[in-house]
Structure 1
Amino acid sequence: MKSVINMNKNDIIKKRYNRVAKYYDLMEGLMESSGGKTWRKKLWSLVKGDTILEAGVGTGNNIEMYPDGKKIFAIDFASKMVEIAKEKAKKYGKDVDIRIMDIENLEFPDKTFDAIVTSCVFCSVPDPVKGLLELKRVLKDDGRLYMLEHVRSKKIIIGTLMDLLNPITVAAWGANINRDTVENLRKAGFNIFKEENLALDIMKLFIVGK
Structure 2
Amino acid sequence: MTTAPSRQPQVRHPLFARIYPRINAFAEAHGALEHRRELLADAAGRIVEIGAGTGANFRRYPPQVEQVIAVEPEPRLRELAERAAAVASVPVEVRAGRAEELPVPDGSVDAAVASLVLCSIADVPRALAEAARVLRPGGRLYFYEHVRSTNPRFARKQRILNVVWPLLAGGCSLTRQTEQAITDVGFTIEQARHFDFLINGRTTPSSPCVIGVARKAGRPDSE
Q: Which TM-score band applies after superposition, normalised by the shorter structure? A: 0.7 to 0.9
Does 2:51 correspond to 1:56? Answer: yes
Structure 2 partner of 1:204 = 210
- Aligned match for 1:39, one of 25, 35, 39: 35
For the residues of structure 2 that align with 1:63 and 1:100, how far apart are their CA atoms?
A: 16
SS of residue in 1 equivalent to 2:70: strand
For the residues of structure 2 that align with 1:28 and 1:93, how far apart are their CA atoms?
A: 19
TM-score under structure 2 length normalisation: 0.82
Offset, 1:94? 4.5
Does 2:40 correspond to 1:27? Answer: no
Offset, 1:93? 6.2
Structure 2 gaps of 5+ residues are 1-6, 198-206, 217-223
Give the number of equivalent residue pairs.
Answer: 199
Does 2:176 correspond to 1:179? Answer: yes
- Aligned match for 1:97, one of 93, 98, 115: 93
Superposed CA RMSD in Å reads 2.1
Q: Which has the higher helix share?
A: 1
Structure 1 gaps of 5+ residues are 1-6
TM-score under structure 1 length normalisation: 0.87
SS of residue in 2 equivalent to 1:163: helix
- In percent, how many aligned pairs have the same letter? 28
For the residues of structure 2 that align with 1:196 and 1:93, how far apart are their CA atoms?
A: 26
Q: How does 1:1-210 map to 2 (within 5 A)?
A: 14-16=11-13, 18-47=14-43, 49-68=44-63, 70-92=66-88, 94-172=90-168, 173-199=170-196, 202-210=208-216
For the residues of structure 2 that align with 1:39 and 1:93, how far apart are their CA atoms?
A: 17
Offset, 1:25? 1.2
SS of residue in 1 equivalent to 2:136: strand
For the residues of structure 2 that align with 1:166 and 1:33, how far apart are their CA atoms?
A: 26
4+ residue runs of structure 1 moved beyond 6 angstroms?
A: none
